[in-house]
Amino acid sequence: MQVIVLGSAAAEAIPDPFCRCDVCEQARRQGGREARARSAALVNSDLLVDLGPDIVSAANQFKLYLGQVHTVLVTHRHEDHWLPSNLYWRDPGFAATPVVPLMVYGPDDALRDLEPHLDRAVNLGVKSVKAGEEWSAGPYRITAVPATHGGGEIEALLYVIDDGQRRVFYGTDTSTLSETTWTILRAWGPLDLILLDATAGLLSGGSGHQGFEQFIATRARMLQEGLIGPRTTVVAHHFSHNGGLTHTALVDKFAPHDVTVAYDGLTFAL
């Protein structure tokens, strides 16, 4: 299994175009790993986690063709993760070559945002899913896991993606995981790759995200629950400039805990 991080930032990206904090200014000057698009990930060439506003530019930046994507997993309806109009670009009249049929899975409230676009959609299916549900999509077995995000105003999901050999947990956006989430994850045993929310950096993530201290506490619980084994890679993901840490500073902060820091274009071959 291959996993590509298409974007690794929170809602405002890094740099925030309206901000001149030290993190944003360094990202402007240096670019590279210091600059971040809004978060999404591509599994192999056929499964996409989130479909936000930066998908088109990310695909072009990393020279990716998305016409083979048959499955999209939507985590929640916040605009940095879910922009349904991006699906237009796969329709005839925009795409000059055929694409495979696509199924979009996600929380019901997020998928309702797709309804105005369905009348012109081609080869597109939609299925709402709830936390705890498990289903197959192509070669993958997927489990929806509840996130702690949105204060109850929206539905938010995390996902375990299993191709029969490797298991990936995509865990953003979320604050401290609920006991329901731990019960679902515990059944999976050691995972191969864990992408976990670390939005708030030096700050507290509050009720919707994690800062550094919350992240480290979650990692400790994952060790205790048997989710981290000898071949598990743990990745801090989804960063805000408001957390006060550049990419370089994040690497230094997480290195003693054996945690990889995500950046745009980071690729895992599992």
Q: What's the per-residue H, E or C state across 155-191?
A: CCEEEEEECCCCEEEEECCCCCCCHHHHHHHHCCCCE
6, 52 in Cβ contact below 8 A? Answer: no
pLDDT of amino acid 119: 76
Of 116, 161, 120, the residue nearest 143 (C-alpha)? 161
Alpha-carbon distance 94 to 24, whole Å? 34
pLDDT of amino acid 121: 77
Residue-range domain boundaries for the chain: 2-269
Low-confidence stretches of the chain (pLDDT < 50) are none
**Per residue in 25-35, pLDDT tens?**
999 999 999 99
% of the chain exceeding 70 in pLDDT: 100
CA atoms within 13 A on the CB side of 257: 21
Q: Is 125 helix (H, G, I), strand (E, B) or coil?
A: strand
234, 245 in Cβ contact below 8 A? Answer: no
Residues 6+ apart with CB under 8 A from 256: none
Mention the CATH class of domain 2-269.
alpha beta
pLDDT of amino acid 210: 98
**Per residue in 188-208, pLDDT tens?**
999 999 999 999 999 999 999
pLDDT of amino acid 157: 98
